Amino acid sequence: MLNEIPPYMDMGAKGKSFWKSCPEHLKEHLAFFLDNGYVVLRKSLPAEYVAQAQQEFAAHKAKYAERYAVHADSNGFQRRLVNLHMALPSFRNIFSKNTIALELQDYLFGSKSSCYTSLTFESGSEQDIHRDSPYFATNPEYYYFGVWTALEYVDERNGALQVYAGGHLLHDPDRGAIVDRFYKEDEDINHFDANLWDTYQAETVAMCKARNIPLVTVAMEPGDTLIWHPQLPHGGAVIQEPHRSRLSIVNHVTPSHVPVSGLAVFFGRRPAPAFGDYPYIEHDGRMFHLHRFVEFAHKDPVAFEEFGV
Ligand SMILES: O=C(O)CCC(=O)C(=O)O
């Protein structure tokens, strides 16, 4: 049974039993996460699993070279592969063999973490700064993390992650006022409404700037994992060396069967489902939401059973 409000949303968490009962080996990471809204776990994924994933991805890409070529950018890279972990077992290992990252997720949730979706980036995403919570609107709210693992070196020149460190502590923009600006009272909401998303994110970034919250660029090495809080403003830095790849995967994680909705629930125009009646596959003792297709930037779906190496 999950708490109605997850303990890491409590600004007084460090005075509570949640903090006091934290296992010693996680405490430093928990403290950093509570204060900054993210934490980097250095070399949390053993080198053998990094190598396995690199090799399997290279073999997969070679096997489906024609299909990959259709979606490649001008440097031959994929900017966003959706749920590739369904086709590549070594990509599922990035989640399941990442022991300390899982221990921390499980402790934070108070429940076993499972993989909801994943995105693989072969180069930087250059995504504008945003919070993920409008697209991963869970019930109860905020039972979500981004768990991002580097499979190659990442620095400020090849599109590292950028985070407003501590920006998770700022209150939300006024969701009701935002939705009222674009929709009539009984109008249904388009799940991908750019006005709602952009306005919410712009107001969040403006708050970070007004409070001089530092924008930190996070250099990472293969096997390092960054976990971000559902309310952490984050994005991908502008790429200065476009010929450099930046192979990395983000798993979007929740406790199993936590329902995940989108903008209509987040902005209060639809009730949140009580239960996420999702199918799962089990891999290495962890649950992965079953997705039938791998997609290239949300297009050109391929059945995952036909897309292995
Ligand atoms: O990998 C990146 O550059 C950013 C990823 C991101 O912001 C996201 O998946 O929400």
pLDDT tens for residues 295-309? 999 999 999 999 998
Q: Would you state the pLDDT for residue 70?
A: 96
The residue-averaged pLDDT of 21-27 equals 98
Q: Would you state the pLDDT for residue 237?
A: 98
CA nearest ligand 1 atom 9, residue: 250
- Answer yes or no: are the C-beta atoms of 249 and 94 closer than 8 Å: yes
Give the relative orientation of helices 89-96 and 47-63 as an angle to the nearest 10 degrees.
Answer: 150
Mean of all residue pLDDT scores within the chain = 97
The token duo for 203 is: 């107001």
- Please tell me the distance between residue 213's alpha carbon and the centre of ligand 1 in angstroms: 19
Choice from 94, 123, 125, 231 to test ligand 1 binding pocket (greatest atom count within 8 A of CB): 125
Q: Would you state the pLDDT for residue 287?
A: 98
Read off the pLDDT of residues 109-165 as tens digits, 9 standing for 90 and up.
Answer: 999 999 999 999 999 999 999 999 999 999 999 999 999 999 999 999 999 999 999
Would you say the CB of residue 161 lies under 6 angstroms from ligand 1? yes
Read off the pLDDT of residues 207-263 as tens digits, 9 standing for 90 and up.
Answer: 999 999 999 999 999 999 999 999 999 999 999 999 999 999 999 999 999 999 999
The residue-averaged pLDDT of 76-102 equals 98
Name all domains of the chain by residue range, CATH numbers in brackets: 36-306 (2.60.120.620)
CA nearest ligand 1 atom 6, residue: 235
Q: Would you state the pLDDT for residue 114?
A: 98
Residues in the chain: 309
Q: Is 199 exposed, middle or buried (0-12, 13-18, 19+ CB in 10 A)?
A: middle
Query: For residue 186, what pLDDT band results from cuts at 50, 70 and 90?
Result: confident
Would you say the CB of residue 6 lies under 6 angstroms from ligand 1? no
- Please tell me the distance between residue 270's alpha carbon and the centre of ligand 1 in angstroms: 27
Would you say the CB of residue 249 lies under 6 angstroms from ligand 1? no
Q: Would you state the pLDDT for residue 1?
A: 86
pTM given for the model: 0.98
Q: Would you state the pLDDT for residue 191?
A: 87
